[in-house]
């Protein structure tokens, strides 16, 4: 992309970092135009893919999120420039002013990220994680699924291993859903629940599953305050983005995911039509996980807490039948 006039100074900026008020050079040789509107278009996986930019002069351009684009600076109006004749040259005004970060801690759903007093609601195990798993397995002898998972885990739980975290999460789900054992399910899930978000989304998915399950179990047991701690821990990574534009994009994507969740309706109906009970149950388990995730977020614009509680109860009955 070229800009022939020598007096057009520009720098490169990532498209995903553009903000209203930036001065963008459109394709061609024209001057930079002020951005007045930005929309974000996601791909089929809900990831930002295209930035749709409109400028003050009516220009429109589509840019891939990761592309570098030339941006300029706001130039003083001609009459203002004339009034400064004889004075020192006026400096150009930067197009973007990034506000300082807030001096207070980030919030999650209106509440501060859990503090020591709230985290104290999660019991500290007296045994090692491997012993917690072994105790859960001993409570259910002869259960093949639990035995297979526990045999792998008692050899050593590596919290840096994605497959190991998945096994722990699966065991907690099996204990609650299959064996209706909320106490051992919570004890196993808490192995993951206390792990901080380390930036690895693949590993975090297992922690997220455990937190959503734990939140639901605690509400079932009447431990509302403890459930709220799990909710906050689950949502805590949503507050980590410090770039204002990226934070807005992430919030928009997140809200769309909550409002339009994949509940596997087509897959479940297809399995029912084919008489495939095993496939139907597997899809319902995935639906249940998504419903638990939504419940831990306090519902969405399309699914209220009451509706989610009703649907979760229905799915539990279906998969336990």
Residues 37 and 146 in one domain: no
Give the chain's end-to-end CA distance (angstroms, integer).
63
**Contacts of range 308-317, beta carbons closer than 8 Å, 24 or more positions apart:** 312/216, 312/288, 315/284, 315/287, 315/288, 315/291, 316/177, 316/288
Q: Is residue 23 in a domain?
A: yes
Domain assignment present for residue 82? The answer is: no
Quick check: is 300 in a domain?
yes
Residue finishing a domain among 75, 99, 127: 75
pTM listed for this prediction: 0.66
Q: Which residues of the chain have pLDDT under 50?
A: 1-7, 75-112
Sheet of strand 60-64, all strands in order from the earlier edge strand to the far edge: 11-14, 68-72, 23-24, 33-42, 48-55, 60-64
Last residue of a domain, one of 46, 75, 104: 75
What pLDDT shows up at residue 144?
Answer: 83
Q: Is residue 135 domain-resident?
A: yes
Q: Do 205 and 145 lie in a common domain?
A: yes
**Looking at the structure, do residues 148 and 31 belong to the same domain, yes or no?**
no
Shared domain for 45 and 185, answered yes or no, is: no
Output the average pLDDT for the chain. Answer: 82
Give the H or E element holding residue 242. Answer: none
Q: Which domain holds residue 53?
A: 11-75
23-38 pLDDT, tens per residue?
888 887 678 888 888 8
Question: Which CATH number does the domain housing residue 25 bear?
Answer: 2.30.30.30
pLDDT recorded at residue 105? 33
pLDDT score recorded for residue 112 = 46
Q: State which H helix or E strand residue 33 sits in.
A: strand 33-42
Residue 107: what pLDDT? 36
Q: Are 243 and 16 in contact (CB under 8 A)?
A: no
């Amino acid at each position: 992309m070229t800009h022939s006039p020598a007096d057009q100074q520009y720098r490169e900026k990532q498209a995903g970092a553009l903000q209203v008020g930036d001065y963008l050079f459109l394709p061609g040789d024209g001057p930079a135009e002020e951005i007045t509107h930005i929309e974000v278009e996601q791909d089929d996986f809900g990831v930002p893919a295209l930035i749709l930019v409109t400028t003050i002069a009516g220009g429109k351009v589509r840019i891939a999120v990761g592309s570098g684009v030339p941006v300029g600076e706001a130039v003083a109006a001609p009459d203002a420039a004339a009034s400064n004749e004889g004075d020192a040259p006026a400096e150009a005004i930067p197009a973007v002013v990034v506000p300082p970060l807030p001096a207070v801690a980030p919030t999650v759903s209106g509440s501060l990220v859990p503090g020591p007093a709230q985290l104290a609601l999660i019991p500290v195990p007296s045994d090692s994680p491997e012993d917690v798993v072994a105790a859960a397995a001993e409570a259910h002898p002869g259960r093949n699924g639990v035995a297979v998972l526990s045999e792998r885990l008692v050899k050593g739980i590596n919290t840096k291993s994605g497959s190991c975290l998945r096994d722990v999460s699966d065991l907690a789900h099996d204990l609650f859903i299959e064996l209706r054992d909320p106490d051992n399910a919570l004890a196993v899930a808490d192995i993951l629940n206390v792990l901080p978000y380390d930036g690895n989304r693949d590993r975090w998915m297992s922690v997220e599953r455990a937190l959503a399950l734990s939140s639901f179990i605690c509400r079932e047991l009447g431990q509302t305050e403890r459930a709220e701690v799990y909710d906050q821990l689950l949502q805590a990574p949503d507050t980590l983005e410090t770039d204002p534009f990226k934070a807005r994009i992430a919030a928009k994507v997140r809200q769309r995911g909550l409002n339009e969740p994949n509940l596997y309706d087509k897959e479940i109906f297809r399995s029912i039509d084919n008489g495939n009970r095993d496939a139907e149950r597997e899809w319902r388990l995935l639906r249940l996980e998504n419903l638990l995730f939504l419940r831990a977020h306090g519902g969405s614009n399309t699914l209220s807490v009451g509706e989610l509680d009703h649907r979760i109860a229905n799915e539990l009955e279906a998969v336990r039948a």
